[in-house]
């Protein structure tokens, strides 16, 4: 009982913080606080299987995957308000109303059985008792949770759908543009050489060498190049070449 009164305010405060923080990393840390506190409550209630699942699966796998995605896309990325799929807001409102109505109807018809002690629930083992209750009494709630997770996955796919404001460039148009840029600006026709090519080391920070032995500075990513003095020129056309080769 003491653990509940200590962890419950922490969980509520962290859950409310998810609604008001602006940085996604802070939201992930608050979510980790909620999950860890919930795992401790499972352990206090003599449910070791749920405790292990909460730590290993939700906190250790799903949340770490979320943080890994944040590291890939950038924690400072802002979501665009431009709709990439027409009518998605209307469908979202209608779907929310339908889901809310189903929840109200389902909760209104719930009947609570008389509570039993943990010893009776775990008499055949914690895992066996949990499976018996989950796939018999609460099978509808279990299936509804599965549908909710699928809906969340589809929502993540919709949010990650990039908007295209210009027509997609075909391979023929891309080849013609590269030839035109080579004729006008002398930009290399092909992709940038990989770092370490014709070099004595395979590190990504080692510049590639041309067949004549000269160093190709454009083969190193800009983030790996040490800062140069103000009087030295920067790498020519490196950012443009990286942006050009990125989607490929």
Would you state the pLDDT for residue 13? 92
Torsion, Cα of 112, 114, 115, 117 (10° steps)? -150
Token look-up 């026709």 returns 189
Please write the tens of the pLDDT for every residue from 211-237: 777 777 777 777 666 665 555 555 444
Q: How confident is the model at residue 248 (pLDDT cuts 50, 70, 90)?
A: very low
Phi, psi values for residue 208, rounded to 5°: -75, 155
Provide the β-strand partners of residue 215: 209
Question: Which sequence spans correspond to the domains of the chain?
Answer: 1-76, 192-248
Which tokens sit at 237?
């056309």
1-76 CATH choice from 1.10.20.10, 1.10.4000.10, 3.40.50.1980, 1.20.120.1200 = 1.20.120.1200
For residue 59, how many other CB atoms are within 10 A of its CB?
A: 19
Please write the tens of the pLDDT for every residue from 73-118: 665 555 555 666 677 788 888 988 998 898 888 888 776 666 565 6
């Amino acid at each position: 009982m003491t653990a509940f009164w200590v962890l419950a305010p922490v969980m509520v405060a962290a859950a409310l913080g998810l609604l008001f923080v602006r940085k996604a990393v802070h939201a992930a840390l608050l979510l980790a606080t909620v999950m860890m506190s919930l795992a401790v409550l499972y352990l206090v209630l003599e449910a070791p299987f749920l405790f292990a699942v909460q730590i290993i699966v939700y906190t250790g796998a799903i949340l770490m995957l979320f943080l890994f995605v944040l590291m890939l896309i950038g924690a400072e990325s802002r979501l665009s308000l431009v709709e990439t799929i027409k009518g998605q807001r209307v469908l979202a409102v209608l779907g929310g109303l339908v889901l809310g109505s189903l929840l109200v109807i389902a909760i209104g018809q719930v009947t609570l059985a008389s509570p039993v002690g943990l010893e009776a629930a775990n008499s055949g083992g914690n895992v066996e008792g949990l499976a018996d209750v989950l796939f018999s009494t609460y099978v509808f709630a279990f299936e509804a949770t599965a549908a909710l997770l699928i809906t969340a996955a589809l929502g993540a796919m919709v949010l990650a759908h990039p908007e295209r404001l210009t027509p997609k460039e075909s391979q023929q148009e891309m080849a013609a543009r590269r030839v035109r840029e080579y004729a006008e600006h002398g930009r290399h026709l092909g992709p940038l050489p990989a770092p370490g090519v014709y070099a004595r080391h395979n590190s990504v920070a080692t510049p590639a060498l041309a067949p004549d032995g000269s160093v190709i500075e454009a083969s190193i990513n800009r983030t790996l190049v040490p800062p140069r003095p103000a009087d030295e020129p920067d790498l020519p056309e490196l950012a443009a070449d990286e942006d050009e080769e990125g989607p490929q």
